[in-house]
Amino acid sequence: MLPDCRALDWISAHSEALRIQHNAHHEMRTTVERHLLHRERLGEHILFADHGARSLCAAKDSLWELSVVKADGTELHIAGPAIGPCIAMAQSILGTSVRGAIAA
């Protein structure tokens, strides 16, 4: 099932850059866990939509990644076994930072 395009449009409008990847670990011919460890070694802190998402990605050998560069230049990396929860989490985080910036 494809995500609602309006959600992606909203994320794009509230960030400097947006990248979505599906199963990037296959390109490197490695496992989900090794791929995630490599990203962490590069200093990329990866958030998961829920507690069991990382194990589910490894078990299913399926990984969706959504990366955003926020207006302040910081990066946000979210991963999960499906794109929908990643998009919802990005909207939640970006919505909080947008509201915080408006309040300031």
Would you say the pTM of this structure is higher than 0.85? no
State the residue range of the domain holding 39. Answer: 5-103
**Number of structural domains found in the chain:** 1
Q: Give pLDDT tens digits for 75-104.
A: 999 999 999 999 999 999 998 754 444 444
Q: Give pLDDT tens digits for 23-53.
A: 999 998 999 999 999 999 999 999 998 889 9
Q: Which helix (H) or strand (E) holds 19?
A: strand 17-22
Residue recorded with tokens 């490894």: 58
Other CB atoms within a 10 A radius of the CB of residue 15 amount to: 19
